[in-house]
Structure 1
Amino acid sequence: MRLAALLAALALALALAPAAMAAEVANPLQPSALWDAMRLAVIGTEEEPPVDPAIFDLDAPPRADNPALVPVRITQPPGAPAIRALALVVDGNPAPVAAEFTFGEALMPLDFEVRVRVDSYSDLRAIATLADGRKVMAGRFVKASGGCAAPAGKSMEEVRATMGEMRFRAAEEDGRQVGTLMIRHPNFSGLQRDQVTLLTIPAEFIQVLEVKRGEEPLFTMEAGISISEDPVFRFAHAPGEGPVTVHAEDTEGRVWDQSF
């Protein structure tokens, strides 16, 4: 009887093992001396924020198809505490803080996507600040290299002709509105070369972005060089009234405002 019970327990364990392995994250955060060195400067404390998927999670591919266009999706389960601010950090990038976001109540629970550049094999992490001031972290280890120096996808003439153009698409999913905002801007990192002259292109990127619905803030972004060329933002939000308005500023003092 005892042997039969042991064999039954072993069979059950073997049956459950594949499911448990499938539930594991394929590319979890790795120990990072770079993060240890910058933690205080980035989040204002030496204390490591806990990783808690019950509050939020970050998804990114284990290996990027294009290091200059790495998709990042940040999500929360229903009922999770509201995230008021979030820092997106790529440990191995020349300027690790890709962007700092704030979020309005309409975006809770969060379902937010953006694309970033990844310059070397690196942890890609988000540090969220909750309404009560607590900090929580999520992230993935991404295999990619050269994203910050990858050449622009368009000629300089086309870049200049289309800079600041915006498109917005709205849809409905599971009772929420889902907006996709696309902005034409090269977001030059300062590490790229002109493919004709071979001269280094100075850094030139969107540094401020504000998105509202009517007078209600949806999200803001203060960004660096690690947000991708022609950035795309996808965000779910509660239904509401009024147009979606976008205000963008870049490092050269250009300003764009548009309403959808």
Structure 2
Amino acid sequence: MRIDAHQHFWQYDPNRHSWITSEMKVLQQDFIPLDLQFILEKNDFDGCIAVQADQSDEETKYLVQLAKEYSFIKGVVGWVDLRASNIDEQLHQYKDESIIKGFRHIVEGEEDPDFLKRDSFLKGIESLTKYNYTYDLLIRPRHYAGAITCVQSNPNQTFILDHIAKPPIKSREFDEWALFIEELAGFSNVSCKVSGLATEANWKSWRLDDFTQYLGHVFDSFGNDRIMFGSDWPVCLLAASYEESVTIVESKLGAFTATEKEAFWGLNALKTYNL
């Protein structure tokens, strides 16, 4: 079974989706399940995980409703205010929505480098562990130290790193990111989504070779049982088609066995997100 472990749906609203700037005009439209269903089938995917793109309870409920209507949505990563004093109550309201596999906060948009290690946030992560939810890490370099502290403080929590931590592929910087990946991968409760690659490269002129050292380091660091594919559709359309997003990764799997490829394209996501 092949699973796209990271994609989004939205009904475009310029206020709610203010992160979509004028240079991202291709994203200033609705992206709904019927748009993706054909693409998944064409590329031999059996399903996907829908990930929040807006930080609201409405977003989580919207994705849950879509999953009820479209069976190819195998899991939802929603949003909840992990810093809230009533976080347990908020999570309890979702106990009957088994399609929700985990939650995410758009930490990359937080200027505070210590956001992930604030007491209120760490208490929220403890609640996720108690309710057996995953947590997706979406970060920028300023959050590296905080991410390590957060993971280290929660050894029983399942973490999934989004977009291989968004390395600066366009500028070809490598060392700081590589050291972080190596340290983070040392925690066995962290997996990594191989996703969002082309959007970190030059949108207009990337080449397959641009991704070689980054993917090689992720594969070496996390091993074959803690990595999974994600398209980051429709955000990937800023720089690459769905098919190109698949090709970028597929071109680097030459040393993988058939079993390892099967795990990468689907089985690892099934296991990690308990689909």
Do the two structures share a fold, i.e. TM-score over 0.5? no
Larger Rg: 1
More helix by share: 2
